[in-house]
Amino acid sequence: MKRAIQRLSPLTVSRHASPGWLCDGGGLYLRILPATGENAPGLVKSWVYRFTLNDRRRDMGLGPYPAVSLAVARQMAGEARAMVKTGRDPLDARQQERDAEREARAALLTFDDAVKRFLGSHEGAWRNEKHRQQWRNTLETYASPVLGKTAVQSITTAHVMRAVEPLWSTKPETASRLRGRIERVLDWAAARNHRQGDNPARWRGHLDKLLPARAKLRRVQHHAAVPIDGVSAVYSKLGESTGMAALALRFLVLTGARAGEVTGARWKEIDLEGGTWTVPADRIKAGRLHRVPLSAEAVTILRERVSEDPEEYVFPGGKEGKPLSLTALSKALWTAGGEDFTVHGFRSTFRDWSAERTNFPREVAEMALAHVISDKVEAAYRRGDL
């Protein structure tokens, strides 16, 4: 490209100028380049201030012509030239101004707005609507009244404590989840440059110095489980009923599955001939496909309910197209004499039975319950499902 150097005047900048550089003096240039793109014929003109600082030449764009006039370009170049004379880099100064503007905009993002944006970017990774709703409800009910209108940049430990501390002794599980979810939202805000500094909702090395450990507040209440020797009586009582909930609960006892996995089962997951029930990953807590071997008794229960529609629920509820409710399972257990126990407790009973009454390895029992292997190295090498 041929370089043309000449003194500019407000009247000599022609729209038909040749490609190159036109010099106005004092380091101000009009750069003229061919337009790119099929629908952009002609030339593109823009102002550039060239300067040397610390033996390094730099180009500073001042904007396009004619949107930026010659008079304005000369003023901008003059301001930059004055900075260079004092040893300041005008490009660095401009970047600092932009950073300050960005921080000012970030300071306007409230906690409620951050929650909406955080949920919008993360909900797709959560397995079910119940989990999504729990996140929304916890933050809306307990965090929003305290933090909602506060800019995320301004949230301090005192703010977090006002939201969490009232629940810590009365609802420790809820309080712990609330703290963790606030921490996640503020971490997201920091990653998006909406706040700086340490996370005031961090537990380790921070809030653990201000709040007592949950274990010291209330003993963990495990799901009440039917004793091993009591399962037979409860199961026999369930067998006296032909109700849908009793059938589903018997199936749950035989498979060691979670209640939601049983009530949400569809016929497309069942292979009666092969004697297996394949629960897809999106319905398993561990997020991994789980195959359940079916006993003869379990297959017999299913044959009483067999359907030709693969999308139909195996244990439908009272409303058409809806699965059996978890409450119905609890009522069935209560009717069968298990009023002091929980449906989920049958999984604990299964684990006790497999450990105390069988010789199967621990790994087999854990896999039957679809538990995640805590050792990451072991999990990486465990490919089969036994």
User: 336-385 pLDDT, tens per residue?
Assistant: 888 888 888 888 889 888 888 888 888 888 888 877 555 444 444 455 56
- Going by C-alpha positions, the residue among 143, 173, 148 that lies closest to residue 161 is 143
Confidence (pLDDT) at 369: 81
At 376 the pLDDT is 47
Supply the pLDDT for residue 295: 93
Separation CA 217–CA 172 (nearest Å): 8
Of residues 242 and 19, more confidence is placed in: 242
Taking residues 128-147, what's their average pLDDT?
A: 87
CA distance 34 to 29: 16
% residues pLDDT > 90 (the chain): 38
Grade residue 2 by pLDDT with cuts at 50, 70 and 90: very low
Task: Return the C-alpha torsion angle 216, 339, 286, 118, nearest 10.
Answer: -70
pLDDT at position 253:
93
- Average pLDDT value over all residues in the chain: 83
Q: Residue 158 and residue 307: Cα distance in Å, rounded?
A: 58
Task: Find the helix or strand (DSSP H, E) in which 282 lies.
Answer: none
First to last CA, the chain: 71
Q: Give tens-digit pLDDT for 70-108.
A: 999 999 999 989 988 988 888 888 888 888 777 766 567
Quote the pLDDT of residue 344: 87
CA dihedral 218, 222, 226, 229 (to 10 degrees): -90
Residue 7 has pLDDT above 60, yes or no: no
pLDDT band for 10, please (50, 70, 90 cuts). Answer: very low
- The answer on pLDDT for 160 being more than 90 is yes
pLDDT over 90 (residue 307): no
